[in-house]
Each structure stands twice: as structure tokens, then as C-alpha cells.
Amino acid sequence: MNLEEDVMKIVNKHLKAFDTGEFFNGTLFIKSNKDTAMAIYIDLCNLYRKRNVLFAIGNRGEYSIDFRL
């Protein structure tokens, strides 16, 4: 497996109706409410260590997560 497949397994556990999660150029983009995005971020930090997971808040329920691995 690769990073994107492993991450998407975690992301898909959290996504609800009308939420989306997808990779573009190695960055994970999530459209959801803040609680869902934070739950995904916390799970990813627990798996990949916090210092390797970079979280950013965008506009209108858009969040991005980058990885330094």
C-alpha cells in the first residue's frame, strides 16, 4: 500500500454525507465541518506523528493536510 491509500482509509471512516476527501499533488483536501476535519487530523497525527502532519484551514469548510514523511 502507499501513503494515499492508507490515509484515505482513515479519512473515509470519518466522512459523512456530502463530505469529500481527495488528494491533489500530494496534499489531502477535505470538505466537511470542523469537527470531522479535526477528527481526521487527530487520527493522522496519531499514526504519522504530529510533526509530520501539517493542517491548514481554508474557506467555507475546506481543509488541507500535508505530510512531511
* CA distances in angstroms from 7 to 17, 48, 59, 60, listed in the order given: 19, 10, 22, 23
**Alpha carbon distance 47, 57 (integer Å):** 21
User: Beta strands 20-24 and 62-67: pairing type?
Assistant: unpaired
pTM of the model: 0.91
- The pLDDT-based confidence of 1 (bands split at 50, 70, 90) is low
**Alpha carbon distance 24, 3 (integer Å):** 13
For 5-61, write each residue's pLDDT tens digit.
Answer: 999 999 999 999 999 999 999 999 999 999 999 999 999 999 999 999 999 998 887
Q: 48 is written with which cell numbers?
A: 504519522
User: Beta strands 62-67 and 27-31: pairing type?
Assistant: antiparallel
